[in-house]
Amino acid sequence: MEFDLSIMGVALEDVVERSGELLALGADGLFTAEGPHDVTGALFLAAAGAPGASLMTNAAIAFPRNPIHLAHAAFDLQRLTGGRFRLGIAPQIRAHITRRFGIEWSRPLERMGDYVDALHAIFATWQDGVPLDHRGPHYTHTLMTPMFSPSPLTTSPPPVIVGALGPAMTELAAARGDGVSVLPFTSAELLAATTLPAIERGLEAAGKGRDGIEVVCGVITAVGRDDEELEAADRGARALLGFYGSTPAYRRVLESIGREDLHEPLRHAVAEGRFDLLGSLVDDEVTERLAVVGRPQEVAARVVEKVGGLADRVALFFPSTPSDETTRELLDHLHAESGVRVSDAREGAR
């Protein structure tokens, strides 16, 4: 397994310098998610600050973006990273699509499959000169002139990693995507009962082996080396779990641990704008089962225990940013737990 850190909380003007520092701490790669800045912007800066680093959008919301727009950014990032970029995309939930982005919500499973196929067709046109002729139920791309075609890459086009939680989207991601990105808000029970079987069904339907896709698992990680740092991390984890748990589409995660009772109080708090209450509603049991909390060595062992049988890469979501010393120690233990010598990881980062 390899372990990636987020650069979401890094100010844009600091991304170039900070990216190199995070790799020096032992990170195998860096990722962004949707937030207050464009999901690809910081990655272009990171490509300059950490040449050759593995970078990923984890994940870009697909439906508000035309496949051509996202394909251009992904192709450029693949070029800048020397073939070490992953295009992670996700559907988002209905409320954000219709109310935040202001576009129609319809048939997300069918639309995502069409989106993935469109990206692959566009990449094939740019890379191999295949005439562009994608005609799907939601996207049609049949024109690509030399003026708008980037030159072929010296590497393969970027893989398309599809974010999924439910079994149908997970199966589609495994069958038609180049990988699956598992939401950090999940349980060991859901991974075993739903995620893994859905991946296996998707692979079988597409005639792929397990090595035909990459699985990226997000993990909510609250780590500290002393009581003060650990307490701040724990508070952050509870607030993030509360935010996820308030979302109706994510209720199945709470159901997987027998705590669906928590969803309605969380949903009401959000509906009333009381985001400050979310963390206080999340108790010890939920925190223990949906996040990984503790000292670096303990956290490393539990991360590997939770996703080690499934993940090729792990995206560490820190609700509270740990110190560099804590981050270094955690990554050292993670590499040791997963069988990668720390010196090898450091050398790879350089």
Give the tens place of pLDDT for each residue, 160-177: 999 999 999 999 999 999
Whether the Cβ atoms of residue 62 and residue 35 lie closer than 8 Å to each other: no
Q: Percent of the chain at pLDDT above 90?
A: 93
Q: In whole angstroms, what is the distance from residue 249 CA to residue 105 CA? A: 14
Q: In whole angstroms, what is the distance from residue 23 CA to residue 327 CA? A: 11
Domain at 28, CATH number: 3.20.20.30
Q: Three-class SS of residue 55?
A: strand
Per-residue tokens: 314: 């792990």
Burial code (b: 16+ CB inside 10 Å, e: under 16) for 177-212 equals bbbbbbbbbbbbebbeebbbebbebbbeebeeeeee
Pairing, β 160-164 against β 179-182:
parallel
Element (H, E) at 298: helix 296-307
**CA distance to 7, 8, 93, 260, 266, per residue, from 250 (Å):** 24, 22, 10, 10, 12
For 22-47, what is the mean pLDDT?
Answer: 96
Nearest in space to 195 (alpha carbons), one of 185, 260, 269: 185
Residue owning tokens 């000292």: 295
Element (H, E) at 322: none
Residue owning tokens 């990226």: 216
pTM of the predicted model, to two decimals? 0.94
Residue 342, pLDDT above cutoff 60: no
For 28-34, what is the mean pLDDT?
Answer: 96
Q: In whole angstroms, what is the distance from residue 192 CA to residue 175 CA? A: 19
Q: pLDDT at position 347, please?
A: 47
Q: pLDDT at position 340, please?
A: 54
Q: In whole angstroms, what is the distance from residue 136 CA to residue 52 CA? A: 35
Q: pLDDT at position 350, please?
A: 39
For 265-286, what is the mean pLDDT?
Answer: 96
Query: 296-307 vs 324-337: helix axis angle to the nearest 10?
Result: 40
Nearest in space to 108 (alpha carbons), one of 89, 124, 125: 89
344 or 2, which is more confident?
A: 2
State how many domains the chain has. 1
For 198-222, what is the mean pLDDT?
Answer: 98
Element (H, E) at 218: strand 214-223
Q: pLDDT at position 327, please?
A: 98
Element (H, E) at 317: strand 313-317
Cβ within 8 Å of residue 69, ≥6 positions away? none
Whether the Cβ atoms of residue 30 and residue 55 lie closer than 8 Å to each other: yes
Q: In whole angstroms, what is the distance from residue 279 CA to residue 60 CA? A: 26
Nearest in space to 86 (alpha carbons), one of 163, 20, 11, 144: 163
Q: In whole angstroms, what is the distance from residue 153 CA to residue 159 CA? A: 13
Q: Which domain holds residue 110?
A: 2-349
pLDDT digits (tens, 9 = 90+) for 65-108: 999 999 999 999 999 999 999 999 999 889 899 999 999 999 99
Residue 345, pLDDT above cutoff 80: no
Pairing, β 160-164 against β 140-141:
unpaired
Q: In whole angstroms, what is the distance from residue 266 CA to residue 281 CA? A: 7
pLDDT digits (tens, 9 = 90+) for 312-341: 999 999 999 999 999 999 999 999 999 853
Specify the DSSP class assigned to residue 8: T
Nearest in space to 314 (alpha carbons), one of 330, 298, 325, 326: 330
Q: In whole angstroms, what is the distance from residue 242 CA to residue 275 CA? A: 9
pLDDT digits (tens, 9 = 90+) for 211-265: 999 999 999 999 999 999 999 999 999 999 999 999 999 999 999 999 999 999 9
Q: pLDDT at position 93, please?
A: 86
- Considering just the CA atoms, what is the radius of gyration of the chain in Å? 20
pLDDT band, residue 51 (cuts 50/70/90): confident
Burial code (b: 16+ CB inside 10 Å, e: under 16) for 294-323 equals bbbbebbbbbbebbeebbbbbbbbbbbbbe
